Structure 1
């Protein structure tokens, strides 16, 4: 006969753990919720296994479940795994396979498909592969990305995003009700790089629609903003562009050092989408002005407010500079391009040794492939983008 009774279970309010006997405990939390736990021990290891809420599991049923749990443990069966199988809830490993099977046909790039799966197999499966998708929490995801957060930040971001996608799928399938607390998880990890100034950015998935909106009108301001988006450049760099900086034959735009924030010459591979926009801009060309995007007075460039006003008129929560973040997020979350290549496309410093290593290789062509892919994506022709 157990030490607890239905009456005492109902009357108990004080937070704590109350034993019934044979490893069965009533657990009362400070918030007042009550649940059952069965404490078992096997091979010197102690383990508490939840048996359900008091609201759904009365004392008599809790005792039956405790007996069953102890018997399963005694013969080497994991009660939690058995319960999961009975409920049909997949492990994280199984959920990944299902998500991959459902989505791989829509992922046009073969390398992206392979790396989506391989990163989870390499970094997530050894830690959370056998964990039920319903039990996966923020601290589990943190355990996966923490070892590579500083060493491989780009990979860590992708793994984090993919774990979140699998969890979102599980919510849609009814295997769980809550998403991962990714924002809290991020705050618990070391800061990689401070960003003192935040510029409102349009989510990259909304960029194609906005670019289509821009090209639905006919003005030098819309052309300038379109080029800014597709080249991931700063407002001043686009507004101050001159025709002698543009090399149509080699599809290159060379911005001299004196016009760059970092004081270094910056060469940008021009995608077919940008070249088409520049050809259109040429129809506005004025003989007395060398500017690609002249203002109303011709001799002076467009004002920064002109581009900002276009965004405001479109009623989007973004500023021109924010499209650099849109581009960067797209690279990180939708492609397999190296993060350092993306940083160089943004004219950010990445360290002399790293940059020297890239310059020994075919750096410009790697960036050209990336910018062509961004142009295809933003212009709505991403099926042909090569995310190599």
Structure 2
């Protein structure tokens, strides 16, 4: 029998940095930062296992010895104490299998797939707002289609998109719970959808300005303010508001703005950045905005971040316009269809839309940069009051 109880309480109070053996595999490891950790080393089926028991002095000498003795007996019985403790911890966690707890666990497992690790909160918000206040305390094993139907029924027709997202997220949480070994009804969300019926909600497109009216609006943005300049660049590039508002000086090189892949909505799994050709007018607007730049951002706000999407929308609201900033993408796409002979794939590429399958895109090694450059130069000519005549693309077919 190996010697045990080698350490004393007095020694532990002033133990030097290093490893100190109490016997029978129990060690105290004293770190240079002053902290200390109890570690137990055992052998199971000829394999060395090491497990942390807790920190000192939170776990005292007597308690550390008791804990070590418990896990030595587990090892002597031929069971792995590390795996056994993990199983106990899982069982303890499962004591609280409420929907709130499982939702948080599912989100942690999934957030690496989300933009910015889900820090914006959009993945969780449909559940936080409309599901968890009513069902958060219910064990996931008790959830059925009637619970879900009754919870989503008030918004099923009035906030159809939000209800759909909530149902989708709930399905993911239920699958996560099943993967943990919990006995849940994986068909509960599909059954709830059947009970709720087809939504009466008719999606509304974001109001857009006709492309013929864009030049007059563009001309009205005559002040060198960040709002006016950002709206002008939004119109000229056809980009979404988020990457445009977050544009950085180091993303601009000559007449090309390179948007990082993670900033591009609708390009899930994209590993390549998106290049935006900048027309002569777009470059002029960027030069006008440069004096406002701060912390590398071309359109900073008065505090730490960048101007908000609401800032751009409110400007149009104050002008009593029905159209919204995002609608300029529709204006540009309609102009491409009606005033140019741009092939479908090139026109879609102007708006950074993903077309074709992943296999086709893998073989088609082009982003149509030069063809998009010609189109956006002509678009700039149109919005600044040019003729806007039909654009012919050489070699486009």
Q: Normalising TM by the smaller chain, what interval?
A: 0.3 to 0.5
TM-score (norm 2): 0.44
Larger Rg over CA atoms = 2
TM-score (norm 1): 0.45
